[in-house]
Amino acid sequence: GNEENASTRLADLDPSTIESIEVLKGASAAAIYGTRANAGVVIITTKRGSAGKTQVSFSQDIGTNTIIRRLGLRDWTADSVASVYDDAEADLFRQAVANNAYYDYEDELYGETGLILDSRLSLTGGSDKTRFFIGASRRNENGIILNTGFDRNSFRVNLDHDLTDRITIGTSTNYVNSVTNRGFTGNENEGGLSYGYNLAFTRPWAELHPDEQGNYPDNPNFAGNMLLVRDLAQNEERVNRIIQGLNIGYNILQTDNSNIRLNLNGGIDYYLNETSVYVPEFHQAQRGLQNGYVGRGRNKVFNGNLQGFLVYNQFLMGGDLSLSTQLGATYLSQQVELLFAQATQLVPGQVNLNSAATQQLTENRSFVQEQGLVAQEEVNFKDQIIGTVGVRLDKSTLNSDPNQYFAFPKASLAVNIANFDFWSVPAINALKPRIAWGQTGSSAAFGSLFTLMNQTNIDGGVGLTVAGALGATTLVPETSTELEAGLDLSLLDNKIALEATFYQRDIFNLILTRGLPASSGFTQESGNFADLRNQGIELSLVTKNVSKESFDWTTTVNWWRNLSTVTRLDVPAFPQPGAGFGLGLGSFYVEEGASITQFAGNLPDPNDPDVNIPTNIGDAMPDFQMSVFSEMTLAKNFDFNFLAHWKQGGDVLNLTKFLTDLAGTTPDLDTPEGQERIAQGTIASRFLEDASYFRLREVSLYYTLPKVSERIEQIKVGVSGRNLFTLTNYSGYDPEVSVNGSSSISSGIDVTPFPTSKQAYFHFNIRF
């Protein structure tokens, strides 16, 4: 489900094969990549070969995973146990203390030190006509919870060949095989499975360990024994993925002042994702109900893309004026086949689907096609004035009319004042004000257009029932109109570079999903219900603090903030489905004139205290964020760098604390703060916390050994750490938390997540 923090497919990429990462935003991204890039796109370029001697590189990383922070235990006494529970429970507490059977189950669950091994081998080289890069890697990562982890095997071949002096061909092939043992964390939807959910209600004097025969006792405090689930249940994901790309470049015409080039690109991305879930029939929450559970999933995804661009470059006025004309067409497709089989009422000890008394099969298929036409003209006069105009036409099977093209124009202008002849300020190397305007589109999710039906049995015959979602047959794409203005400034022979950008992004016909009353016969519907405005500022400062042969030091500082407002809402305000657990506990709430990321809860109406109304209680949007990246090279042998991140503001709805308060196990319940929180009852604002933090995300130190052999080009060793230090007042495991995984609209809800870990590494690299 969407509350189980599904794996991200970015984990399939081997970072050691990446050459560069570029981020395109808004109109610039969508002009090239279409509606899928409406919110921007990350371009990952992998390493390629170069002409020359074949180089062999081997790297070995050894690291550890440990939990960043623990919630801790309540400081129980016999009197407090009797006060919270009863005298009988106090007797159990005394017996456990006397028998040394008082346990820290949080440490038993999350206290593992996971070993990380990452091995990589690469070969690169080639001739003037053919160049290659070959890379292979294996990563084995054990988690902070026993029996969790991630294994990945990756193999990549990138080839480039000059077929003639005009035609070049390049291919990229990447095969990935991975296994993820995810465990059971997050919200409790199945009964007695989530480690953290069960932990919240489990008292330290409860005995959950197996006896000498391996039999686990029931949890006397909740629906499941989390040690049994950890040791005997299974939640595994296997992925086999192949990514294949092909590019062909053809220089059609080459003269002294012009050239015409045809660029053709295509690729496929196919992966098979197989999942396996098993819960033993003797699990406490299974007995007498499902009596064991087996689930098998088989998810096949095939992505394809084709694009062709004709580029005509002209150089006029002795090269002072350049014109670049681009005409292109793109095609994208995605085919998804999901087959999911479930079985309950298991034969003891059997995990085969056929051995179950009750079986259920679910199959979902989808096929999406998108086509685009692109025209763009870029003008550059002496690098003084640079302008671009363009338009993209897109159509998609996700639109109500799959054959209708929607037009998305764009334009930009930049003037580099420091390049004009009249400029006479030597200290300023570049002074470039810029402005850009553009539109992009985004289509609805698959299935939004149609009212889906489920099969049912009616008097022994096959029938259909409404699945719940009402089809929206008149949906049109969201249209985002963005205006961006900025200034680029470079000083002192480019030792200081400053970029400042202000943007306003208006999203019209925003596609939202809202719940429907039961009397409608449906549970929810999607529609173009709203308009949204985002306004933000982005600042970047790059300084070359020292630039000498023996010492080089560069620092990059980024600062940014964003504000969002719902400027139109055609329906009554509503909690966003899947982005909370109702207004009683607090939920993201869509309301005209308010932030799209606001939290709302039911609070007494100031005019009628006996009536609760939805009221703003906070906002997940930060006030601002800031990062600092600094790197130093000393004596050409030592390399040191770090990345720090500061997020100021932004709230998190800590429903983990709601659960531990409900169970009486929160560590601070004996403090004045804890007692004050309990006195508030279950009011939603009680669980809202400021999630500001300062985090040292990355730090590393490397040493390159002096060359000792003609055969060995380089030996490099180093140490590094990730998430080593976090400063925050947030009381949960991590202020960066999301109950719905990667979902942006619910990134501020905490429900017993998999605790974040910190990592420490030793690195070794040798190159021949």
| H/E stretch holding 677 | helix 672-679
Q: What are phi and psi of 347, to 5 degrees?
A: -70, 130
Distance CA 225, CA 734 (A): 25
pLDDT band at 395 (very low <50, low <70, confident <90, very high): very high
Structure tokens at 193: 């499975």
pLDDT band at 471 (very low <50, low <70, confident <90, very high): confident
The pLDDT of residue 3 is 55
Q: Does 1 score more than 50 pLDDT?
A: no
Q: Does 744 score more than 60 pLDDT?
A: no
Residue 102 in any domain: the answer is no
Q: Does 620 score more than 60 pLDDT?
A: yes
Residue 219 in any domain: the answer is yes
Q: Does 245 score more than 70 pLDDT?
A: yes
What is the rounded average pLDDT of the residues 481-495? 95
Scored b (16 or more CB within 10 A) or e, 97-129 reads eeeeebbebbebbbebebebebebebbbbbeee
Residue 713 in any domain: the answer is no
Tell me what percent of the residues of the chain surpass a pLDDT of 70.
95
Residue 502 in any domain: the answer is no
What is the rounded average pLDDT of the residues 741-748? 61
Residue 198 in any domain: the answer is yes
The pLDDT of residue 696 is 98
Lowest-pLDDT range of 8-12, 457-461, 523-527: 457-461
Mark residue 346 as left, alpha or beta (left: phi above 0; alpha: psi -120 to 50; beta: remaining).
beta
Please answer whether residues 135 and 121 qualify as being in contact, where contact means their C-beta atoms are separated by less than 8 angstroms. yes
Host domain of residue 215: 184-228
Q: Does 433 score more than 90 pLDDT?
A: yes
What is the rounded average pLDDT of the residues 418-423? 92
| 276-328 residue pLDDT tens | 999 999 999 998 888 999 999 999 999 999 999 999 999 999 889 999 999 99
| 532-560 residue pLDDT tens | 999 999 999 999 999 998 999 999 999 99
What is the rounded average pLDDT of the residues 510-527? 82
Residue 444 in any domain: the answer is no
What is the rounded average pLDDT of the residues 728-745? 80
What is the rounded average pLDDT of the residues 337-359? 91
**Could you tell me which of 20, 19, 16 has the C-alpha nearest to residue 58?**
16
| 642-673 residue pLDDT tens | 999 999 999 999 999 999 999 999 999 999 99
Residue 432 in any domain: the answer is no
The pLDDT of residue 36 is 66
| 214-234 residue pLDDT tens | 999 999 999 999 999 999 999
Residue 200 in any domain: the answer is yes
Domain count, the chain: 1
What is the rounded average pLDDT of the residues 506-517? 86
Q: How far is CA 336 from CA 12, 300, 393, 401, 661, in A?
A: 18, 6, 25, 21, 43
Q: What are phi and psi of 343, to 5 degrees?
A: -145, 140
The pLDDT of residue 38 is 67
| 175-188 residue pLDDT tens | 999 999 999 999 88
Mark residue 403 as left, alpha or beta (left: phi above 0; alpha: psi -120 to 50; beta: remaining).
alpha
